Amino acid sequence: MPLAHVCPVCGSQLARTRGVAGPAGCLRVVVCTCGFAAVRRKHPVVVRWRKFRSTTRAAAFLLFQTLLVFGLSVASAGFITWFESDLKFLDLSPHRFVGVMFGIPAPRPALVERWYDQGGVAFLIGFGLMSLAAGAWLRAALAHWRWPRPIFAWVVLVSVWVWFEALFWPLTWLDGRISGTRTDYSGPGVRSSLYMFEILAASVLVSFAASPVGAAISGVLASMHKRRFKRRLTRLRKARRGE
């Protein structure tokens, strides 16, 4: 027996009466044969438990997303600055490095050989995979953003981390002035910045290429959600009919 839904005017049992969409749209209204109308309500224990579950789920998802956006962007910036310092060591610019990969002779081939031997390939694969993951995530998790806005936001965010030292240099300078220590500028120079910009552009291109994967994941998730909702609706309808 469902919870009591008795008409307060004529005493009819309204438990089995179907609720119809009321004038407010979102409220389901039960209309008795005597003309009395009431909003269909759920038991507060059920409502509160569901609200608690949905709130914690949303809060956990928000925390997860925040950590992911932070982690992925910082990791991307780390890869970019690391790769830039490696290229400086190899005496190569990013586009020249691509040329070396395709057989153009490097100015210092022994260093390039050593870099490859010391895990350069693994580094490049890791960087590529991370850029792919970032692209897929941008499209799947930020599906409510109009494409390609997430990519632009991503470029801005990663740039903030890459040029963090330069952006917050005034604060470092002020800190040095207060503490009385010598604080010379230690951020990236013009050449380093150009190299990092090139690497960032390449990484964004890889991320962009991975966006169809993200779109597919987003589509699968949406259809799964719809299917689950339909199943629930069917179950409720069957229960209402007493099947």
Partner 1 sequence: MSQSESHPPSRAPAVEPRLSTLVGDRVCIKCSFNLAGQPVVRESVYGMAIVRCPECSTIASLQEYPILGRWAGRMAAAIAAVWLLVLILGLFATAGVMFGMTQSGIQTGSEKLSNAISKKHKEWADTASAQETAGIKQMFGTAQVVTTGPYVWIDSTWWSKQDKGAILAELGGPMRAINWQFANIYTLQAFLAALLGAVWSVFLLNLKRYRLFIFALLPFGLAFGFAFLANTTSSRVGMRWGSGAYAIEEASAMLWPYLVGTGLGVGFVAFCIGSWIGRPLVRRLALLLLPPRMRASLAYLWIAEGKTPPRPPMPK
Asked whether 241 and 167 are in contact (CB, 8 A), the reply is no
Q: Does 235 bind partner 1 (CB under 8 A)?
A: no
Q: Does 232 bind partner 1 (CB under 8 A)?
A: no
Asked whether 127 and 203 are in contact (CB, 8 A), the reply is yes
By CB under 8 A, name the one of 33, 66, 118, 234 that touches partner 1: 66
Distance of CA 57 to the CA centre of its chain: 16
By CB under 8 A, name the one of 23, 170, 180, 242 that touches partner 1: 180
CB nearer partner 1, residue 66 or residue 223: 66
Half-sphere exposure of 12 (CA within 13 A, CB side): 14
Determine the size of the site formed for partner 1 (CB under 8 A). 31
How far is the C-alpha of 82 from the C-alpha of 130, rounded, in Å? Answer: 14
How far is the C-alpha of 44 from the C-alpha of 30, rounded, in Å? Answer: 18
CB nearer partner 1, residue 61 or residue 82: 61
By CB under 8 A, name the one of 33, 54, 118, 223 that touches partner 1: 54
| Contact pattern for partner 1 over residues 124 through 163, marking x by CB under 8 A | -----------------xxxx-------------------
Summarize as ranges the residues that interact with partner 1 (CB under 8 A).
3-4, 8-10, 36, 41, 43-45, 51, 54-55, 57-59, 61-62, 65-66, 69, 141-144, 171, 175, 178-181
